[in-house]
Amino acid sequence: MLKSHIHQVSNSISLPPLSTPFIIDQHSSSSAISRNVLVKKRRGGSIRNMSASTTTTATMISTSSVDKFAMVKGVISVQPTISGVLTSVTVGLIGTVADRVSDLFGKSFLVELVSTDLDSSGNEKETIKAYARPLNDGSKLNKYQCEFKVPYNFGDIGAVLVENQHRQEAYIKDIVLDDGSVIFPCESWVHSKYENPDKRIFFTDKSYLPSKTPVGLKSLREKDLETLRGNGEGERKPFERIYDYDTYNDIGDPDANSDLSRPVLGGDQHPYPRRCRTGRPMTSTEPWSESRTTLPFYVPRDEDFSEIKEVTFGATTLFSVLDGAIPMLESILTDSGLGFSSFMDIGSLYTERVNMIPSNNGLLSAVPRLIQTIVNSTKSYLQFETPRMKERDSFSWFRDEEFCRQTLAGLNPYSIQLVTEWPLTSKLDPEVYGPAESAITKEIVEQEIKGFMTLEEALEQKKLFLLDYHDLLLPYVNKVRELEGTTLYGSRTLMFLTSTGTLRPLAIELTRPPNNGKPQWKHVYTPSRDATDAWLWKLAKAHVLAHDSGYHQLVSHWLRTHGATEPYIIATNRHLSKIHPIHRLLCPHLRYTMQINSLARLALINASGTINTSFSPKKYSMQLSSDAYARDWRFDHEALPADLVSRGMAVEDESAPHGIKLTIEDYPFANDGLLLWDAITRWATTYVNHYYPQPNLVESDTELQAWWTEIRTVGHGDKKDEPWWPQLKTRQDLIKIVTTIMWVCSGHHSAVNFGQYDFAGYFPNRPTIARTKMPNEDPTVEEWEAFISKPEDVLLDSFPTQIQATRVMSILAVLSTHSPDEEYIGTNIEPAWAAEPVIKAAFEEFSGEMKAIETIIDSRNRDTNLRNRRGAGLVPYQLLKPFSEPGVTGKGVPYSISI
């Protein structure tokens, strides 16, 4: 079953409701604690849903002066699980006989109501208890009903305690009292009391700052946080919900093979964000490295959604490819060094079927885009769909203009920067790496500009732009070249902004540092009509594209979104209570990410994973990511406007629409991203100002301050002493911080993720690796003659091997896919937002802005004056359109890093 592959938890409840009558427990309210149930009447005296400002409480209405209590009904909604749906006829897989007996006798869950008040002695009031029984109301959810006898002086209900009487866990969506008078948003797995005797705590949908917490809830608020923090000891159990920090000490596998040893990422030597602690034993060969398993790593139980989302949910599908499709590919393509002999062979990936061994684990059913099963047959075959870029123009990848355009409207719009100083100069030690000054000279530039302007004029008019991977890659060149099947250079690519607003390349510089007595080697390639130079130029572009692909995947994508966000998730759960308004603001942006990250550590960024086997730096890939973090990552620059300014792609301008003026006006990523950034800022501003009406409330919020301190000093602790960390003293400070986090999880991630198959599914457009050196670097006579006689073969030899290409393509297809139940930004209002009229109205305005952004982007893509967006055969820039259909669409912005 799917469950056994995705999460190793005992079992999950997915019980079809029983029609058995409820057997009332006569003692269920005998120990009831006094409490008022807040209820509003409508015409006829019946209870109705309360206004959003008071929906979380309920007040007791007595039917007569003699009544001392009221009867309050509650309904628990339990989400059916995937395994439950697939095996609903098999009692053994859905529930045990003991669980059936619990339901039969009306004791499925024990629920206790908690008052917001203290008793007359200043102690917490005794809770009101009731057991829940199955309720068959015909809905898709499994419902359980309970009834409470609540004293008139109980006070407002602020929380419930839940004890799961089954021997299996259950995913509770919510608990509702009196048809909506009181709502407890849960969205959480509740363990069996037989696994853990502690009762679960759920609060109402009313949000409170710590200082505003009702006295009856204060101890529960702290107790819940203490449970989530844990004690930092022992190996985590699958049912636990503990959030703690650890270094990336588990991406190597030294016990399996010494070649799979990897340095620990995190610490002085290799700074890095922290990941979630699992507590697995250390390896026998390296006591500093954590051991690995073949099954998904621990994540806090509420971070695993594979059982409650559709079978095409990102984590489920990704694991299906990693655990199913890729091993099958490797079993077919047994020659790991075999490349493609022609471009026709590459094209056949999209037109011909490859027979595959049928899978008996059911996993490949989650990958309909890649693996198709012949009807009425036991055979399976592999066929890749044609990426949109190749479908529109098979030769666009060959064009220099498209090469440049994709730095503004492609997969990695985060690298291009303005040239502000000349000559281009390395900051590396020349004693180690050779002369620091670039070989791209003034003469070369002016020759390529062809007299249009001088170099000085081009600099002054902000016409020169750069992709600079020189200093980041050069320290790895000699080490990478010792590995089989790859090579590396430091690279610089210089581009010129034309009068039409498009870029064209001027020069590519490739550099090899001194090694084994050989001096530094560097060469500048330029576009040419000469046959030999033209082919050298094409090969140089392939090397730069491999560099850009690696930087995109390791830095722009993994590090700056997945890796940097995990500490935010951990700190949010450790220090912001579930009823803290900032927790509830960030919650939809932080869902799903930890599970995806754990799968990445399992089979993508690990020593034998796709990144380490199919990208140019190979075994040094993650170490290179650490170097980029140490050198370049700054929280304040993760805000989109600050990022653009830091790269010279914009300047601050209060008169401009977004407060900045773009250096390149037709910069699709920046133009669309700023629309989204501004909308998020406005939404965050209204939200923060509502919950922090007085400026001093931010600095006095103990949970908030602990949260931000831990992000800076622990989650990103290797950067704790940097002066650029924002302070958190004012509402404006808080708005900037949460807006940045929300942008990174939504807009930033979508921009670098959901176009991966469209732009890189046809790998000649974005090869992940360059396997051979340039033909003119110290060639032998035979090597040079082979290049002269058939340069196309040399280009093909530099491309990824068959297994590398298909492995990456399989993963990119999954990473680019939206599931049918994707949660897009501006949709699915959170219960706590709906509970407050001001917040509900602000969200509705925010949602409307998302729809308006859709229209604006469509209009821009129809504008023929915007040549970086529209032209013959071009893929229009849609990556920041907020909404999308399911599948690989090249658009859509989910709230969170959901794949």
pLDDT of 86 over the 60 cut: no
Average pLDDT over residues 329-340: 75
DSSP 264: P
**For the residues of 578-638, what is the DSSP string, one character each?**
TT-HHHHHHHHHHTTHHHHHHHHHHHTSSTTSHHHHHSTTGGGHHHHHHHHHHHH--GGGG
Catalytic residue among 749, 811, 825, 868: 749
pLDDT of 316 over the 80 cut: no
Reported confidence tier of residue 295, pLDDT bands at 50, 70, 90? confident
Q: Please classify residue 821 by burial: count the beta carbons closer than 10 Å to its beta carbon, then call 0-12 exposed, 13-18 middle and 19+ buried.
A: middle
**Which H/E stretch holds residue 183?**
strand 182-190
In this predicted structure, which of 54-58, 574-578, 703-707 has the lowest mean pLDDT?
Answer: 54-58
- C-alpha count within 13 angstroms, C-beta hemisphere, residue 521: 15
Reported confidence tier of residue 102, pLDDT bands at 50, 70, 90? low
| Cβ within 8 Å of residue 184, ≥6 positions away | 159, 160, 174, 175, 176, 177, 202, 203, 204, 205
Closest of 249, 299, 827 to residue 592, by C-alpha:
299
The span from the CA of 105 to the CA of 101, in Å, is: 6
Please report the pLDDT score of residue 452 as a whole number.
87
Comparison of pLDDT for 332 and 499, the residue scoring more: 499
Please report the pLDDT score of residue 329 as a whole number.
66
Average pLDDT over residues 230-254: 96
In this predicted structure, which of 23-37, 765-779, 814-828 has the lowest mean pLDDT?
Answer: 23-37
Please report the pLDDT score of residue 381 as a whole number.
63
Are 616 and 610 within 8 A, CB to CB?
no
Of the chain, the percentage scoring pLDDT greater than 90 comes to 77
Torsion of CA 806, 807, 809, 812, to 10 degrees: 170
Please report the pLDDT score of residue 357 as a whole number.
52
Please report the pLDDT score of residue 205 as a whole number.
97
Residues 778-834 have pLDDT tens digits of 999 999 999 999 999 999 999 999 989 988 998 898 899 998 889 999 999 999 999
**Mean pLDDT across the chain, nearest whole number?**
87
Q: At what angle do helices 702-710 and 564-575 cross, to 10 degrees?
A: 150
The span from the CA of 719 to the CA of 682, in Å, is: 29
Q: Please name the residue that has the structure tokens 């010494």.
A: 258
pLDDT of 734 over the 90 cut: yes
Q: Please classify residue 389 by burial: count the beta carbons closer than 10 Å to its beta carbon, then call 0-12 exposed, 13-18 middle and 19+ buried.
A: buried
Average pLDDT over residues 683-693: 98
The span from the CA of 604 to the CA of 600, in Å, is: 5
**Which H/E stretch holds residue 242?**
none
Catalytic residue among 5, 270, 543, 557: 557
The values of phi and psi at residue 92, to 5°, are -65, -30
Residues 188-207 have pLDDT tens digits of 999 999 999 999 999 999 99
Please report the pLDDT score of residue 580 as a whole number.
98
Please work out, in degrees rounded to the nearest 5, the angle formed at the alpha carbon of residue 169 by the alpha carbons of 167 and 170.
Answer: 125
Comparison of pLDDT for 2 and 239, the residue scoring more: 239
The values of phi and psi at residue 897, to 5°, are -80, 85
Q: Taking phi first (over 0 means left), then psi (-120 to 50 degrees means alpha), and beta for anything else, what does residue 309 get?
A: beta
SS3 828: coil
Residues 35-59 have pLDDT tens digits of 344 443 332 223 233 333 333 333 4
Reported confidence tier of residue 23, pLDDT bands at 50, 70, 90? very low
pLDDT of 370 over the 90 cut: no
Which of 27-31, 139-143, 424-428, 807-811 has maximum average pLDDT? 424-428
Torsion of CA 77, 82, 86, 90, to 10 degrees: -60
Structure tokens at 32: 């009831």
pLDDT of 320 over the 80 cut: no
Q: Is 899 known to be catalytic? A: yes
Which segments of 299-451 are extended strands (E)? Answer: 354-356, 371-373, 380-382, 417-418
Please report the pLDDT score of residue 296 as a whole number.
86
Amino acid at 666: D
DSSP 638: G
- Supply the pTM of this predicted model: 0.90
Q: Which residues pair with 356 in a beta bridge?
A: 380
Catalytic residue among 562, 575, 580, 637: 562
In this predicted structure, which of 113-117, 146-150, 307-311 has the lowest mean pLDDT?
Answer: 307-311
**Which H/E stretch holds residue 811?**
helix 802-815
pLDDT of 17 over the 80 cut: no
Q: Is 753 known to be catalytic? A: yes
> What is the β-pairing status of strands 47-48 and 417-418?
unpaired
Comparison of pLDDT for 783 and 318, the residue scoring more: 783
Average pLDDT over residues 304-323: 65
Structure tokens at 476: 């790895």
Residue 234 Cα to chain centre, angstroms: 28
Q: Please classify residue 96 by burial: count the beta carbons closer than 10 Å to its beta carbon, then call 0-12 exposed, 13-18 middle and 19+ buried.
A: middle
Q: Please classify residue 707 by burial: count the beta carbons closer than 10 Å to its beta carbon, then call 0-12 exposed, 13-18 middle and 19+ buried.
A: buried
Q: How many CB atoms lie within 10 A of CB 127?
A: 20
Average pLDDT over residues 744-764: 97
Round to the nearest angstrom and report the end-to-end CA distance of the chain.
22
Q: Which residues pair with 282 in a beta bridge?
A: 290
Catalytic residue among 142, 606, 753, 765: 753
Of the chain, the percentage scoring pLDDT greater than 70 comes to 84
Q: Is 562 known to be catalytic? A: yes
Q: How many CB atoms lie within 10 A of CB 358?
A: 13
**For the residues of 380-413, what is the DSSP string, one character each?**
EEE-PPPPHHHHH-TTGGG-HHHHHHHHHHSS-T
Closest of 169, 308, 213, 176 to residue 831, by C-alpha:
176
The span from the CA of 714 to the CA of 887, in Å, is: 38
The order of strands in the sheet holding 157-164 is 182-190, 170-177, 69-78, 142-151, 128-135, 109-115, 157-164, 200-203
Are 875 and 759 within 8 A, CB to CB?
yes
Residues 866-879 have pLDDT tens digits of 999 999 999 999 99
pLDDT of 29 over the 60 cut: no
Please report the pLDDT score of residue 305 as a whole number.
79
Closest of 564, 605, 538 to residue 799, by C-alpha:
538
Q: Please name the residue that has the structure tokens 């033909």.
A: 775
